[in-house]
Amino acid sequence: DIQMTQSPSSLSASVGDRVSITCRASQSISTFLNWYQQQPGKAPNLLIYAASSLQSGVPSRFSGSGSGTDFTLTISSLQPEDFATYYCQQSYGNSPITFGQGTRLEIK
Amino acid sequence: QVQLQQWGAGLLKPSETLSLSCAVYGGSFSGYHWNWIRQPPGKGLEWIGEINHSGSTNYNPSLESRVTLSVDTSKNQFSLKLNSVTAADTAVYYCATSNSGTNSYGLDVWGQGTTVTVSS
């Protein structure tokens, strides 16, 4: 299986801050990397697909980059509704889908 | 756009079989990959497996020996069975799919989630 490792596991930031979360794959996955936001008690919400494409309806302050094994999710200016848990997920070829362990973004 | 609604038993005893179903509304049942994902309390997301409209499956190797996915095309539904459950199977279970028709571009449609508790 392809292992996905996110860092940091948790992050404290303030409204208006720029934050980045990284995700590393155990082998090259090209750009088959997706990012999700999950609010407590809710299903995950797709933010970014194919490493850098913004899902319809997602604010433009969210962006993704990377290819191969290293990827980054960036939020350019944190809003109160952005404090949540974020997951990366790989969907490479016929490999089983795997998720990162999650990054909890908290208000400082 | 496709929408998903799921249901199933929420309280099981150890060794019983977990059974959940997910109904598809608002779109074609064919041409999609239908997924199940679970999330233990306070933990991350774990993909269980996928099935397409013709019944072709792909499972998480760690669960494959206990999982069965199936489809009922006449009802536009797909189902999950997980046998011999233990407390470690306690989780919120989600059904999910992608409007793109492929898992490659992420899962953008999710069911509401079903909390399953395994306890004697």
**What's the pLDDT tens digit per position in A15-69?**
999 999 999 999 999 999 999 999 999 999 999 999 999 999 999 999 999 999 9
Which residue on chain A is closest to B4 by alpha carbon? A43
Residues 6 or more apart from B105 whose CB is under 8 A from it?
A34, A49, A50, A53, A91, B98
Taking contacts as CB-CB distances below 8 angstroms, the residues of chain B near A44 are 45, 94, 107, 110
Residues paired with residue A103 on neighbouring β-strands, in sequence order: A86
Could you report the per-residue pLDDT of A61-101, keeping only the tens digit for each? 999 999 999 999 999 999 999 999 999 999 998 889 999 99
How confident is the model over B38-67, as pLDDT tens digits?
999 999 999 999 999 889 999 999 999 999
Say if B111 is an interface residue toward chain A (CB within 8 Å): yes
Classify each residue of A88-103 as buried b or exposed e, where b means 16 or more C-beta atoms within 10 Å of its C-beta.
Answer: bbbbbeeebbbbbbbb
Chain B within 8 Å of A68 (Cβ-Cβ)? Answer: no
Cβ <8 Å between A50 and B105 = yes
pLDDT at A14: 97
